[in-house]
């Protein structure tokens, strides 16, 4: 369970809570603590990132080297941090075939031989296919590029662990806006549902809305503790909307219920996800 | 089971196969037969539509009046054509609450009193909400408009029944095209799956593809008998594609697997469904 | 020069100002006056439209018949209202070739013979090509459809004349919003210019802006008397924006200065015109 | 005048033609010649680029150092290559104010002091604003990044000079495709014009087309020698198209003539520039 920011005001509590975000390197949290107190997980993460930017090359290298091989011997014998084990399991690395395991081991070894540190990838949202594609691509890079890429992955891993450890400041929220580009007006009266994908324990998982005269919802679709990082899906009832307006469509309309699946990476930010639609097209984007 | 076009070459076989498309009005098929033989379901449907355009006002009115009330007494006592019964069941009209049924009955009566024929709606893809919205909206129309609207619905109903009765000519097919609008290039090597939604008996229901160098599939995703009217869903593995290319994204990417749900109304046509995407936007449309 | 709404508070002033909006039919203004006073040109127009909806069929027919033939004998001998003459000149009807004039005259005659009133089209923004296309298309309609279409054109003509006669209430304004869909963020610091197309006398004709951190301008681009009906063009300096960000592009970028040309029909409304762009795509729409 | 590929078959002719593409460094052309003969300007450019990738660090550094300061003393006293002089003039560097010149000189000096080579930017399509923004941004980079960036600019400069020196292989061409996303069909019968912007001597500068039943032009809009690098503008007559179809729009339509301005960087490639439009939205992208 994530703890509130207010509960990590002492150095000991801070390091206990977030010392594991950077693999086997609590020194990152120890040094970052001085930059607190932090008003947000976002600024806490930035402080730890800055700490690494200020660290020596050797310190960074030792951090990179502290990571276990993906699906490597350490993982096989259970000798990795709990965080690593959970992340690797989620990416399906526990279910590799013999051939895949052997290929991965060999690629890992070649990678480590070339760069001097293991191949690191934030695997929680990665599939096996992505992992192999990334390994092959990054194997071809040069050391300078690859150190930068490995460090970028380390920060991603730390961010995901941090969100599991500390509650956000509750300032983020989710909105949408539906425009009817066939008539050049807001789409009023459209039914919209929002579903949280994946496992989020006791949180509600589905919400129903109707757009107002301006094509928006009356207030945020999600905010506060309900608005956590993860994958979500809107369903916009576009077919119903046009049918109710009397727009002529086919017996089997081209667009009926339109799902829009998207991810929330930072629950302290505003996510605006508009839909532009006619009976024959739709588009979406991260708005502001 | 739909029969092939070749199996309805005699007038008797023709009327047996498609005489029920227009509710209790086999005369439409009888007259349209002379315009055959038909090389496609599309031209067969056009011939029946033209037959009605040439019919007298009284004949059209009697066709409109041949339709049962939605969820009306006839439906309740099982006294409607098998086609009507199945269509009404699919729209959830069997599960109306007492209050909904009473409201629908009352609206139906007012509608019939105003226009002289029952309220007609192609309900197979309609929800209860759409049915009520359409009733309220159309109640406000004038007779000329409403006769035209009712006839349009009758043609939709006939089209759906026709597709259940006769096999298409097999010339339709489905294609897609993925453009990476972040780099201005075709999206090569993207995994794409296609799923058929709803009940289609023994047909395969899921297909997996990878885009080629031009961002297209090598050949149609569906064609021939597999390509039938109904609802479908592509899943474009956009998150994987950008991750494999090394495009920097968030730990929880905004776009991961992108579903595109769409309907095929006429299985004798080409449906082209492109995807334009960056890590932060996507759009689709019916292309050509 | 348009007069302010406050200057048409008496019936005489009202009819003097707007009595010519409906061709040779000041009775429309006379009857509509009672629904005032009007807080906006929009509500004034709605009142005149409603007056016609309440008029008898004969009255509407006489209004339709009051319109001159496009480029007809009356126009040729200068025997049309000043408003009609100016509108026909703007559409290039003064420069028809002999053959075009003869074709138009013949189509006009056939149209009038079929429907009992002359062909009416709001020509101020129409080209010769549109006029001929509309005539051919509408000639094929039936009387009920065509009366509705003719009346719709009459309302458009009246609206344009009304905007020339009476000042709007000054509540409309123009905004934009630029999203960088390559990075999923607002496009901050982009140069934007706005130009008014056509002839607007002494009004300024070009404005320069820079987008703020949210990708918007600090305040409306136009409002008050400067915000009048007509054609406009944004130029978004998209190429410069991406070059300044260090996004790799071609030596001759695909997108440099992006013009977006659009029309303002109702200067009492808010027009929001967003731009979504990457170095390889852009889109716009009427937003809200 | 660019010479044909066939005219540079001997080493002397080759170096005479393209030896100046890399500033004061004919050795790049001399070494690249061995990889010929070249079937395209594209492959010729790739060979020269590869030559630099194979060169020593010192050789690359000497190439970077061979570039004059932008608007520097050498430029002021006319002591730069003709290519540089023309490029700098085109970016408006001849019309810098005293203050701008002084600022640029000072930034150039700081840049050179930091990195050991002058600030290099492909200025032909750059404005003063872009030049200053790029200088400030790149000043903050580290040496490894900045060497890569400088080299990327050198390749852009070489590409533009190469296109001025050698004729392409004539295999590139330009197409478009217009989709009506209000009706889900190709936009047939739309008028389209194409204009070449800037100075292209005796080449024709404007072309008129009409879209066919599939929303495309009958054949390429440009190909062969007419299809050269530079800036172009389509005008799609969207307003006319919808008016001719009888789609109801405002008296002053939101979309009338829609300009789409775009650049051709490589005249040996196919450029496909689609337009998706309704009366209220449009979008474009580089297609394939």
| Residues A182-200 pLDDT 10s | 999 999 999 999 999 876 6
Asked if D210 reaches chain A (Cβ–Cβ under 8 Å), the answer is no
| C37 interfaces chain D, CB cutoff of 8 Å | no
Which of A133, A229, A240 lies closest to B244 in CB terms?
A133
On average, the pLDDT of chain C sits at 92
Q: Which of C48-57, C96-105, D48-57, D279-288 has the lowest mean pLDDT?
A: C96-105
D279 touches A at CB < 8 Å: yes
pLDDT of B203: 62
Which residues in chain B are contacts of C182 at CB distance < 8 A?
182, 278, 280
B–D CB contacts, 8 A cutoff, strictly below: 31
Stated length of chain D: 288
Confidence of residue D200 (pLDDT cuts 50, 70, 90): low
Distance from CA of B250 to the nearest CA of C (A): 11
* Virtual torsion, Cα D36, D39, D43, D48, nearest 10 deg: 30
> Does the CB of A136 have a partner CB in chain B at under 8 Å?
no
Q: What is the predicted pLDDT for the residue at B88?
A: 78
Q: How far is A163 from chain C (nearest CA, A)?
A: 21
Mean pLDDT score of chain B, rounded to an integer? 92
Report pLDDT for A41. Answer: 97
How do C230-237 and C257-264 pair as beta strands? antiparallel
User: Which residues of chain A neighbour D182 with C-beta distances below 8 Å?
Assistant: 181-182, 278, 280
Give the strands of the sheet with D206-210, arranged side by side. D206-210, D191-196, D230-237, D257-264
Of the partner residues A184, A254, A279, the one whose CB lies closest to the CB of residue D280: A184
- Give the contacts of B154 (CB within 8 A, at least 6 positions apart): B22, B23, B52, B63, B64, B67, B120
Cβ of residue A283 closer than 8 Å to a chain C Cβ: yes
Considering only CB atoms, which chain D residues are within 8 Å of A276? 281
User: What mean pLDDT comes out for the span B229-246?
Assistant: 94
Q: Which of A189, A243, A265, A277 to mutate to test the interface with B (most CBs of B within 10 A)?
A: A243
Cα–Cα distance list, C246 to A88, C123, D149 (Å): 36, 48, 9
Most confidently predicted of A132-136, B179-183, C119-123, D66-70? B179-183
Residues constituting chain A: 288
Question: Is it the case that residue D202 has pLDDT exceeding 70?
Answer: no
Q: Number of C-alpha atoms within 13 angstroms, CB side, residue B207?
A: 19
By percentage, how much of chain D surpasses pLDDT 70? 97
B270 is catalytic: no
> Which pLDDT belongs to residue D73?
72
How far is residue D53 CA from its own chain's centroid?
22
- Say whether pLDDT at B141 is over 80: yes
CA neighbor of D125 nearest in space, from D233, D198, D48: D198
- The C-alpha atoms of residue B152 and residue D74 are separated, in whole angstroms, by 77
Of A160, A246, A251, the CB nearest to B122: A251
- Gyration radius of chain D over CA positions: 23
Instruction: Kindly determine whether residue D184 and residue A254, on different chains, have CB atoms separated by under 8 Å.
Output: yes
| Average pLDDT over all residues of chain A | 92
Domains and CATH numbers, chain B: 5-165 (1.10.3330.10), 173-284 (2.60.40.180)
Residues of B with Cβ-Cβ distance to C283 under 8 angstroms: 283
Q: Is the pLDDT of residue C97 over 90?
A: no
Q: In the predicted model, what is the mean pLDDT of residues B95-116?
A: 91
Query: Which residue in D184, D254, D276 is closest to A184 by CB distance?
Result: D254
Confidence category of residue C200, pLDDT binned at 50, 70, 90 = low
Choose the mutation target among C179, C185, C215, C280 for the interface with B, i.e. most B CBs under 10 Å. Answer: C280
Question: What residue in B sits closest to D277 (Cα-Cα)?
Answer: B285
Closest CB to D256 among C137, C246, C261: C261
Q: What is the pLDDT of residue B221?
A: 96
Closest CA to D130 of D142, D143, D141, D119: D119
Judge whether residue A10 has pLDDT over 70.
Answer: yes
Per-residue confidence (pLDDT) for residue A231, from 0 to 100: 93
Q: What is the pLDDT of residue A184?
A: 96
What is the three-class DSSP state of D180? strand
Query: Per-residue pLDDT tens for A75-99?
Result: 777 778 888 788 777 777 777 888 9
d(CA C177, CA C186): 8
* Minimal-distance CA residue of chain D relative to B181: D285
pLDDT at residue A238 in the model: 97
Q: Confidence class of residue D225 from pLDDT cuts 50, 70 and 90?
A: confident
Cβ of A179 under 8 Å from any chain C Cβ?
yes
Query: Which two tokens mark B206?
Result: 């899921």
Q: Is C95 on the interface with B (CB under 8 A)?
A: no
Considering only CA atoms, which of B185, B157, B171, B271 is closest in space to residue B221? B271
Q: What is the pLDDT of residues A50-69, one digit of tens each?
A: 999 999 999 999 999 999 98
How many CA atoms within 13 Å lie on the side-chain side of A169? 14
CA angle, corner B249, sides to A234 and A193, nearest 5?
Answer: 5
| pLDDT tens column, A19-28 | 999 999 999 9
Q: For residue B94, name the pLDDT band (cuts at 50, 70, 90).
A: confident
Inter-chain CB proximity C133 and D253 less than 8 Å: no
Q: What is the mean pLDDT of residues B1-11?
A: 92
pLDDT of residue B69 exceeding 90: no
Percent of chain D topping pLDDT 90: 71
What pLDDT is recorded for position A200? 63
- Looking at the complex, does the CB of residue D201 fall below 8 Å from at least one CB of chain A? no
| Residue among C254, C276, C283 whose CB faces B184 most closely | C254
Which of B117-126, D152-161, D166-175 shows the lowest per-residue confidence on average (mean pLDDT)?
B117-126
Interface check for B281 against chain A (CB to CB < 8 A): the answer is yes
- Pick the closest to residue C156 from C52, C34, C14 (CA basis): C52
- Residues of D within 8 A of B183 (CB-CB) are none
Which residue in chain A is spatially nearest to C283 when comparing CA positions? A283
**Three-state secondary-structure class, residue C86:** helix
Tens of pLDDT, residues A197-242: 876 665 666 789 999 999 999 999 999 888 999 999 999 999 999 9
pLDDT of residue A266: 96
Percent of chain B at pLDDT exceeding 70? 97
Q: Is the pLDDT confidence value at B133 over 80?
A: yes
Q: What is the ipTM of this complex?
A: 0.93
Question: E strand or H helix at B63, and its extent?
Answer: helix B57-65
Per mean pLDDT, which range of A261-265, B205-209, C213-217, C253-257 is the poorest?
Answer: B205-209
Tokens representing C168? 């709007």
- Residue C46 burial by CB count (10 A; 0-12/13-18/19+): exposed, middle or buried? middle
Q: What is the pLDDT of residues A106-118, one digit of tens each?
A: 999 999 999 999 9
In this structure, what DSSP letter does residue C4 have? P
B280·C182 Cβ contact <8 A: yes
């Amino acid at each position: 369970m994530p703890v509130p920011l207010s509960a990590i005001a002492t150095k000991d509590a801070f390091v206990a809570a977030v010392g594991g975000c950077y693999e086997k390197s609590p020194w990152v949290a120890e040094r970052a603590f001085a930059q607190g107190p932090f008003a947000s997980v976002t600024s806490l993460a930035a402080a730890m990132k800055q700490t690494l930017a200020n660290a020596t090359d050797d310190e960074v290298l030792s951090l990179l080297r502290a990571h276990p091989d993906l699906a490597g011997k350490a993982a096989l014998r259970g000798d990795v941090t709990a965080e690593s084990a959970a992340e690797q399991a989620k990416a399906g690395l526990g279910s590799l075939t013999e051939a895949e395991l052997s290929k991965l081991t060999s690629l890992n070894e070649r990678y480590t031989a070339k760069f001097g540190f293991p191949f690191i990838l934030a695997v929680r949202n990665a599939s096996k296919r992505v992992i192999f594609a990334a390994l092959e691509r990054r194997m071809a890079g040069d050391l300078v590029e690859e150190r930068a890429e490995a460090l970028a992955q380390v920060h991603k891993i730390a961010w995901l662990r941090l969100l599991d450890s500390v509650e956000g400041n509750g300032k983020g929220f989710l909105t949408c806006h539906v425009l009817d580009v066939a008539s050049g007006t807001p789409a009023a009266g459209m039914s919209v549902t929002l579903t949280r994908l994946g496992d989020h324990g006791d949180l509600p998982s589905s919400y129903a809305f109707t757009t107002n005269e301006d094509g928006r919802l009356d207030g945020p679709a999600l905010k506060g503790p309900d608005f956590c990082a993860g994958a979500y899906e809107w369903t916009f009832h576009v077919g119903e909307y046009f049918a109710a307006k009397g727009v002529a469509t086919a017996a089997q309309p081209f667009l009926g219920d339109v799902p829009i699946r998207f991810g929330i990476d930072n629950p302290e930010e505003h996510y605006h996800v508009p839909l532009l639609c006619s009976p024959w097209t739709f588009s979406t984007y991260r708005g502001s």
